[in-house]
Amino acid sequence: MQNNPEIEQITDYAISLAKKKKHEYVLIEHLFLSLVLYEPFAKCLAKYGVDVENLVKDLHSYLDRIQNPQISKNAPKKTNAIERVFNRSVTQVLFTGRRYVTTIDLFLSITSETHSHASYYILSLESIKLNSQTSGTNTTKNQMLS
Looking at residue 128, what is its pLDDT?
56
33-91: pLDDT as tens digits: 999 999 999 999 999 888 899 999 999 999 999 876 666 677 889 999 999 999 999 99
Query: What 3-state DSSP class applies to 102?
Result: coil
* Contact yes or no for 22/71 (Cβ under 8 A): no
CATH number of the domain at 141, please.
Answer: 1.10.1780.10
pLDDT digits (tens, 9 = 90+) for 95-140: 999 999 999 999 999 988 888 888 778 877 765 554 444 444 344 4
Using CA atoms, how far residue 105 sits from 11, 62, 131, 145, in Å, is 14, 24, 20, 12
> Which range among 24-33, 123-132, 137-146 shows the weakest confidence by mean pLDDT?
137-146
> Nearest CA to 26 among 65, 88, 75?
75
Q: pTM, whole model, 2 decimals?
A: 0.82
Q: What is the pLDDT of residue 71?
A: 64
Q: Is the per-residue pLDDT at 3 higher than 80?
A: yes
pLDDT over threshold 50, residue 141: no
Give residue 69's pLDDT. 65
Total number of domains constituting the chain? 1
